[in-house]
Amino acid sequence: AGKFYQHAPNETSQATLASVSPVFAVMKFDKEGNTTYFEKKKTELYQELGLQARDLRFQHVMSIATRNNRIIMRMEFLKAVITPEFLLILDYRNLSLEHWLLNELASQLAGEGQLVTYSLPFEFRAIEAILQYWISKLQGRLNTLQPQILETLEALVDPKLLSVDRSKLHILLQNGKSLSELETDVKVFKETILEILDEEEVIEELCLSKWTDPQVFEESTSGIDHAEEMELLLENYYRQAEDLLNEARELRVLIDDSESIIFINLDSHRNVMMRLNLQLTMGTFSVSLFGLIGVAFGMNLESSLEEDPRIFWLVTGIMFLGSGLMWRRLLSFLGRHLEPPLPPHVPAVLKKSQPAAGRVEIKTSLKGETFGLSRGTLTNQ
């Protein structure tokens, strides 16, 4: 009785854990492209596939691994298990994959698509179909971002604008963030493939039919090396990812250069406004300085000058003329101090157009002086 009561809680806990085991919604594709749907618990699924529980965790963001003659692939949300006979797509619901799974993947696996591996074993077609889908998804994201970024930059770089539209800057900031996420995803995709290309044993393990199908094994030994075909397949998508990453980097450089141009335009307009403000301040100073004459005559002091009717026009003319001359003098002083520095002096010998032999002689003499050759050696040369 004591033993019975000791084992009863353990059996209850095991039953509870089995009941809460996650359930996978699975879509199965065979070699002919036929599709079946079913739901199965994780414990039952990895037992049928001959895998372990940790093989179906999919804890990595992106990975391609082999276990017990099975290929386990995850491209972020896309989870797949490939065998020599069929392909399993796990948790395909609510991922907007129905169009690709039903309209494209089935025909590609049956050899009716545009895959270059249609004449190779089934696992080649499955791997290429998944890699092609993922690289096309990344390319689609770049094609969506590129025109938006170019349109925003074209509106912001306009030199006629005296200010920057904040809404355009907000759009550019969001697109720049999306571009950074795209670059990260492409880098992870590249590193995942590169890890496989660096391991020859892993490439051999990816060729599942080579170890299960005697005919494929005979073809491999007779000269058709399926490991080389797998390596070429992975290198192809590695190069596509590299090209995609280069396009994203060029777009990033364009954004950085455009930001510099925007700042230069704003600084230029700011300098114009500051110079205009300085000129107006100088004009105000000039008028105020000679306006002291009018202030002096406006005092309630008697003199003999106010009796002459010509004095008003004389004093007014002196005030306006003196203010104008003073303002002109200050503007010329400002212009001399704001002129750009003169370019460095270029020797007259280099300015003259010389024939090819002359140019070669100059370069040779400069090179000789650099390396400490004597003048007699240069003459002989």
Is the distance from CB of 126 to CB of 110 less than 8 angstroms? no
Tell me what percent of the residues of the chain surpass a pLDDT of 90: 18
Give the predicted TM-score (pTM) of the model: 0.66
Report the phi/psi class of residue 216: left, alpha or beta, with left for phi > 0 and alpha for psi in -120 to 50.
alpha
Minimum mean pLDDT range among 137-141, 159-163, 257-261 = 159-163
Domains of the chain, first to last: 20-111 (2.40.128.330)
Tokens of 80: 């797949």
Average pLDDT, stretch 8-24?
56
Tokens of 196: 């496989």
| 8-state DSSP, 105 | I
Q: Is the dihedral of CA 91, 96, 100, 101 positive or negative?
A: positive
DSSP result, 201-261: HHHHHH-THHHH-HHHHHHHHTT--HHHHHHHHHHHHHHHHHHHHHHHHHHHHHHHHHHHH
Q: Determine phi and psi for 160, rounding to 5 degrees.
A: -75, -15
**Size of the chain in residues:** 381
- Rounded Cα distance between 367 and 187, Å, is 45
78 bridge partner residues? 75
pLDDT of residue 197 exceeding 70, the answer is: yes
- Rounded Cα distance between 285 and 326, Å, is 9
Minimum mean pLDDT range among 22-31, 43-52, 156-165 = 156-165
Is the distance from CB of 147 to CB of 171 less than 8 angstroms? no
Contacts of 118 (CB under 8 A, 6+ apart): 111, 125
- Rounded Cα distance between 196 and 203, Å, is 7
The better pLDDT of the pair 30, 381 is held by: 30
Confidence of residue 355 (pLDDT cuts 50, 70, 90): very low
How many other CB atoms are found less than 10 A from the CB of residue 232?
A: 11
